Amino acid sequence: MAAADSVLAADSPSVALPGLARALISAGKLEQKTAEDVSRKAQGNRTSFIAELVGSGAVSATDLAHTMSGAFGAPLLDLEAVDPQRLPKNLLDSKMCQALRVLVLAKRNNRLIVATADPSDQQAAEKIKFSTQMGVDWIITEYDKLTKMIEASATSASEVMDSIIGDDFEFDESTMDSESADEGDQTPSEVEDAPVVKFLHKMLVDAFTMRASDLHFEPYEHTYRVRFRIDGELREIASPPTAIKEKLASRIKVISKMDISEKRVPQDGRMKLKIGPERVIDFRVSTLPTLFGEKIVIRILDPSSAKLGIDALGYEVEEKTRLLEAINRPYGMILVTGPTGSGKTVSLYTCLNLLNKPGINISTAEDPSEINLPGVNQVNMNDKAGLTFAAALKSFLRQDPDVIMVGEIRDLETADIAIKAAQTGHLVLSTLHTNDAPTTLTRMRNMGIAPFNIASSVILITAQRLARRLCPHCKAPADIPHETLLEAGFKDEDVDGTWTPYKPVGCSMCNNGYKGRVGIYQVMPISEDMQRIILADGSAMDIAKQSESEGVKSLRQSGLNKVKLGVTSLEEVLGCTNL
């Protein structure tokens, strides 16, 4: 009988065992025959060896984790001590995480710290390296806990769409700033599709929770993606089915009071969402017709950002003093310049908040008003109705104003009225799109404004950028060569070894080493010497040279000072300023 058994065993086809099985056999935790039986069963059931192994009870998940940690010399981690909400997102596609049964725990320099129950899986490591272009450091965890957390952390579009269809989520129609009459004429299938409603609500809440500034809904020929701008960087969050793009666009347009039948031209609107019992967030919505549908960008407008105070914006002591002196003058023009998304509106409203007192009449003209500030008379532009910046400014001058804020000086007519207001006893605040403070004056000259009017009205110009702020929890000293620091703009006396530059690392508390943003400013008061240069029709280079002699830091110098203070990295400053 024994001989027969041995013959049968000899006739049985040999099974190629995975590295995990060989490691367990070598450690004495698994018999060869048991390993082969589990492997055959896994092949028959089309499951992984480790899933079949733990599921069959041949080796417990805890025993397996301890054995793998010892065999491969990798640290052991209990996932029950990890908060899944603080895990880094979007470093590795969630579908790949599910397929490979891995979980990204953190990022260190150019390496990912990845939780796994099977460190012998070289194919998984190679796939992760190929997908992320980063190295992999394994952390051993128990298979059952790992599987549970991977399922809980999955954020793929299909999973989001499936999960939000359930009855455990209630979309509150009353939170949206829309009238029932606006929705009464719409097709029910376009505005009341429950999955779309819940998906949109989830995206808005997630964006607010993740401190995003914008949401991008982008249709393409075969795909549809949602991206959030977090700390100035766009990150893909979801890829819902392309079939929802029309319904999603219609839903957003309905609650933003747009015309859902008009898909050929861009539209603008607003909507509100209630976050908690007393918190309401405003959203500015913009649609744009593209080849494969309407792209929609939603800007999150948080009124509390204007009430953070001037210190929270990142002004240095000297820059703050210059700005406060200018806004406390009785008349003149203050200009804030920079590209879109550089924080100009927040800076203007911070100044308005300081000026907003019972004895001061403040009026603003914007397109549209982004931040609601009680005590300030805010006017939205309506070009179709004839309410332009120029028309609003003319009306303001008949409204007994003390302070006037113009969202943007776009043309000569608006500029002329604003300058006349500044020359006749009013404080005027506005924005322009220029690269730095000195070029703002030549930009106004190119618009057709006479040098005398510029010199007699403009009292201060602030140019600004937003740089990502280093995460205080994980930033690390950076070894930057002396020559690189000098090329970046540091002087020899600055590179004296008394300070340390820092670099981003990445942890569960931040986004790739950065958390939040800080302003980089060039605050340039218009002195008498600068007025003479303007009257002589001098160039931006002449003004820049004079401002430097008066102690005004350029944007690059201001950014380098933030590097010395450890607030941001040198790479970030080089990326958003010119030398």
- Give Cβ neighbours of residue 446 (< 8 Å, ≥ 6 apart): none
CATH class for the region spanning 305-468+518-554: alpha beta
- Give Cβ neighbours of residue 547 (< 8 Å, ≥ 6 apart): 437, 438, 524, 530
CB 460 within 8 A of CB 484: no
Tokens of 171: 């979309």
CA atoms of 121 and 101, how far apart (whole Å): 11
- Locate all alpha helices (DSSP H) within 27-60, ordered by sequence: 32-45, 49-56
Q: Do domains 19-154 and 305-468+518-554 have the same CATH topology?
A: no
* Per-residue pLDDT, 15: 66
CB 117 within 8 A of CB 64: yes
The radius of gyration computed from the CA coordinates of the chain, to the nearest angstrom, equals: 30
What are the b/e assignments for 443-459, b being 16+ CB within 10 Å?
A: bbbebebebebbbbbbb
Residue in the block written with tokens 């003093």: 321
338: number of Cβ within 10 Å: 25
In CATH, which superfamily holds the domain spanning 19-154?
Type II secretion system, protein E, N-terminal domain (3.30.300.160)
- The SS3 of residue 476 is strand
CA atoms of 521 and 262, how far apart (whole Å): 41
CB 31 within 8 A of CB 16: no
Burial grade of 503 (CB within 10 A; 0-12, 13-18, 19 or more): middle
- Identify the CA nearest to 405 among candidates 377, 433, 384: 377
- The SS3 of residue 538 is coil
DSSP code, position 402: S
List the domain boundaries for the chain: 19-154, 193-301, 305-468+518-554
Tokens of 302: 């948080």
Sheet holding 403-406, edge to edge: 377-380, 362-366, 403-406, 427-432, 332-337, 458-470, 514-525
Residue in the block written with tokens 């367990």: 24
* Per-residue pLDDT, 168: 35
CB 562 within 8 A of CB 467: yes
* Per-residue pLDDT, 6: 40
Q: In sequence order, what are the beta bridge partners of 429?
A: 334, 405
First to last CA, the chain: 88
Residue in the block written with tokens 């450091």: 137
Helix (H) / strand (E) containing 63: helix 61-72
* Per-residue pLDDT, 175: 41
What are the b/e assignments for 256-276, b being 16+ CB within 10 Å?
A: bbbebeeeeeebebbbbbeee
**Level-2 CATH architecture, domain 193-301:** 2-Layer Sandwich (3.30)
Residue in the block written with tokens 């005027």: 428
Per-residue model confidence as pLDDT tens for the chain (579 residues): 444 344 334 444 556 788 888 888 888 888 888 888 888 888 877 778 888 888 888 888 888 888 888 888 888 888 888 877 777 877 887 778 888 889 888 888 788 899 999 888 888 888 888 888 888 999 999 988 888 888 776 544 444 444 443 333 333 444 444 333 344 344 444 445 578 888 888 888 888 888 888 999 999 988 999 999 988 888 888 888 888 899 999 999 999 989 999 999 999 888 887 766 667 788 889 999 999 999 999 998 876 665 667 777 888 899 999 999 999 999 999 999 988 888 888 888 889 988 999 999 999 998 877 777 889 999 988 877 888 888 888 999 899 999 999 988 888 888 999 999 999 899 999 998 888 999 998 889 988 999 999 999 999 999 999 999 999 889 999 989 989 999 998 988 888 878 999 999 888 778 888 888 899 999 999 999 999 999 998 999 999 999 999 999 999 999 999 999 999 999 999 988 887
CA atoms of 212 and 304, how far apart (whole Å): 15
Tokens of 348: 């203007």
Q: In sequence order, what are the beta bridge partners of 113?
A: 106, 137
- Locate all alpha helices (DSSP H) within 356-489, ordered by sequence: 389-396, 412-423, 437-446, 451-457, 482-488
Phi and psi, residue 525, nearest 5°: -70, 145
* Per-residue pLDDT, 467: 92
**Residue 269: C-alpha distances to residues 205, 207, 222, 274, 412 (Å):** 19, 18, 28, 17, 27
Beta strands per DSSP E along 478-552: 502-503, 514-525
91: number of Cβ within 10 Å: 20
* Per-residue pLDDT, 355: 92
Q: How many H helices and E strands in the chain?
A: 24, 18
What are the b/e assignments for 199-227, b being 16+ CB within 10 Å?
A: bbbbbbebbbeeebbbbbbbbeeeebbbb
* Per-residue pLDDT, 188: 42
